[in-house]
Structure 1
């Protein structure tokens, strides 16, 4: 495992200013202000473990209370390929909690994640990494990730998606402003339809702080760094993870329009937030 999750060398690659005469001083400031030092501490405490065991240890030490509902569904389907779809409420602990929950019940569960979670090498056995920020440089990474997802399912394994491809954010619901996923991405929904396996919705309660959502005004790079502080404020908080009944391939195949299918899967997932 890595000595540090985010090292000085990693920061130096970002911009020439961090490689200059006062580079280390700037890095010290960035590590402190961004909360990266705290993230490194969390990683260091649990890096002797990997996979679901690492996830459990991290969440236990963060003192995050996990309440699981209807998890017997996973046990019924553990010997059959399936896909999980989830809302992306947090941007870090939801992915960690998903792997703890599902990965501890099946041996081959992988989640398609972005490069932020993908940096955690102790979870690499459960990751298929893609980069959601489009550029020619990232195109091959994304295409290879999608190909790996297709191969994983075709081999009879289990796969997980956050179909929004981004953290939940401000959304309008009638006259109310709420926090919810953006439209689920057509590329992921197409892949789900093509897989022709049961789809198990999984809902995460809760979310990040108002401060985090306000950081959108400063750009995604700044808000991504804000995720570090969002780990610190979760101590002692409760997160309810609700598993829904499987949506079978026959029901999915009825949807010819990909956007309609995406809305259907998303609504089935969010409906679990009302389950008591």
Structure 2
């Protein structure tokens, strides 16, 4: 019965994928995972990263798929610039072969939501202040079906103020990174059964991307002076960064 439940939830899928590539770490692990899933990556405007090979910057991205987004982002950016890290949740953070590229938010470690946020912010700021690049899925959750301007679209929820606060604090260029695609209809429908069921469904989403194409598009850097012009309005800054990122998907 337990084995049957694991199969239904697809909890065996991440282990299977991990075991095939666990002899590698970091961007090399990510590349091997994506290659073995036969996922084609098309990267547009990646030459922007050459300007920042030895300089700190932040990437902000939409989050259409789930686990695959982080794997693709780390392969794409981490293979081009050293010491790139992303803030991720505890589930993705369990992948030890990618630990060198993670700042993991772990609710169980601190027991207090405010402490977790502070710990993640503190580590993120220190990483950038030490001259290294950092990445965020600024919504802090996978994209969903939403009703917008009279139609149903797949889009991130509002981007989180904790991310924009870090961006304002560190005063480095921000590079928008748009990731194409969407999850399955079953994933979006699983929302009605609660967060836990939806999280389990991400395991299915990891494997059903086999053979598909992902397009990652980098936008022009948003410089600190532009970010400073928003002053203390973190809501407007978050919306601006989100719009700049999604605009890349329509070009």
Residue 178 of structure 1: how far off its partner (Å): 0.4
Report the equivalent of 1:66: 41
Per-residue deviation, 1:115: 0.9
Does structure 1 residue 35 correspond to structure 2 residue 18?
Answer: no
Q: Radius of gyration: which is bigger?
A: 1
Q: Which residue of 1 aligns with 2:250?
A: 274
Cα distance in 2 between the residues matched to 1:195 and 1:262? 15
Counterpart of 1:164 in structure 2 is 139
Alpha-carbon offset, residue 73 of structure 1: 0.2
Distance 2:116 2:161 in 1: 18
Q: In 2, distance between residues paired with 1:268 and 1:139?
A: 29
Q: Deviations over 1:25-56 (max 9, x none)?
A: 43x23321111112211000000000000000
Using the TM superposition, give the Cα deviation of residue 137 of structure 1 relative to its aligned residue in structure 2, in angstroms.
4.2
> Which whole-Å deviations, capped at 9, do the CAs of 1:177-228 have from their partners, x for residues lacking one?
1010000001111111111000000000001001000000011111111011
Asked if residue 94 in structure 1 is aligned to residue 61 in structure 2, the reply is no
Structure number with greater CO (CA < 8 Å, separation at least 6) is: 2
In structure 2, C-alpha distance between the alignment counterparts of 1:172 and 1:131, rounded to whole Å: 32
Rounded to whole Å, the distance in 1 between the matches of 2:93 and 2:124 is: 15
Alignment of 1:14-25 (within 5 A): 25=1
- Matching residue of 2:118: 143
Q: Equivalent residue of 1:172, what SS? A: strand
Kept in 1: contact 2:87–2:104 (CA 8 A):
yes
Q: Find 2:29's aligned residue among 38, 43, 54.
A: 54
When structure 1 is superposed on structure 2, of 143-152 and 47-56 the one drifting more is 143-152
Work out whether residues 107 and 116 of structure 2, in 8 Å CA contact, stay in contact via their aligned partners in 1. Answer: no
Alignment partner, residue 212 of structure 2: 237
Q: Deviations over 1:95-133 (max 9, x none)?
A: 000000100111110000111111111000000011479
Tell me the TM-score normalized by structure 1: 0.87
8 A contact 1:170–1:213 mirrored in 2: yes
Give every structure 1 segment of 4 or more consecutive aligned residues whose post-TM-superposition deviation is greater than 3 Å: 135-142
CA deviation map 1:152-171 (0-9, x unaligned): 01111100001100000112
Structure 1 runs not aligned, ≥5 long: 1-24
Task: Name the Cα RMSD after superposition.
Answer: 1.5
User: Unpaired segments of 5 or more residues in structure 2?
Assistant: none
Matched, 1:83 2:26: no
Q: CA deviation at 1:90?
A: 0.9
Looking at structure 1, the residues matched to 31 and 19 of structure 2 have their Cα atoms a distance apart, in angstroms, of 14
- How many residue pairs were aligned? 249
* SS at structure 2 position matched to 1:261: helix
